Structure 1
Amino acid sequence: MAPMLAWLGSAHGPATILGIGATRDALVTSVLSRQKDALQGLAAAFVEDDPLVAARASAALRRLGLPGFSVVCGDAGQSDTYAGRVPADLILLGPDVVDGSQLRRRGLGEALSMLLTARGQLAWWSARDTPIAGWPQTLARAGLVALAGGRDWGFHRLVDRP
């Protein structure tokens, strides 16, 4: 997560962040709390399909005092969920999505280039102990190149739209 922390802490001007299936993981709240000062003035929307998870995430963001951050309860597979929230400069893709079915990952991989700004970045992480078959190839087909990563996480930049 070091590259994500570096991005969050850098002077990058106005930025938008989109989180998909990322708020169940305490890692996100931990990262956000450590970068709270750098996040002031940024806009972020976290998409969660479970109303209980969305409510908990909303409460956590309120406690952090990040007024530009919100949680949307909706289906990440529906384009209307993203209305007014994309393209994003950074997408945080959590284990709920990354560890899903191969078909779901493939569909999301194809959509990522449309959800990101030109040169936008993607940070993803997995809760799995084994490598995710085909995930690096899915991201490469979406025009994303790896900047850093490991077996269960990655940080990518959009360099070419398919």
Structure 2
Amino acid sequence: MPQEEKHEEKPRILRPEELEFYDQLRSDPSGESSPQEQPAAPTAQPSQEQPLETAALPPEPDLEPEPEDDAESFIYTFQVGSFQSMERAGGLQQRLYREGFEASINRAFYENEPWYRVIIEVETTPSKIDNFKQRLGEQGIDQPLLRNKRPS
């Protein structure tokens, strides 16, 4: 039995003109190609490439984070003082009130002894909380104790 000789053909590399991608680029939005923009028949000579017309690109988005002023605000609860006498807690509350802070007093017990905690709640964004703490620092409250932070 005679054997057939197998001729393996080398895979042919497509030229850019033979790719459908270019036809799709040249077609109008309705999907039909205009006759002027049909790809030329393949020639043996290299053709001069004409620059492609491109549509204007949309502006690049800002890579900078958006200002946090538009960020979600929270209600922060700070303990700014704790005293064994109601008079001292009330004095701090009044002083803070004169400076524009709204403070309240909560009573708690530790080993059956009453303690009076001065509490301030403020609604603000994370970017503005440092300004608030700085204002408290001007009143001699350098390390307010954050008791709670919840979405407003």
Which fold has the larger relative contact order, with Cα–Cα distance below 8 Å and residues 6 or more apart in sequence? Answer: 2
Which structure features the higher share of helix residues?
A: 1
What TM-score does the superposition give when structure 2 sets the normalisation length?
A: 0.25
What TM-score does the superposition give when structure 1 sets the normalisation length?
A: 0.24
Structure with bigger gyration radius: 2
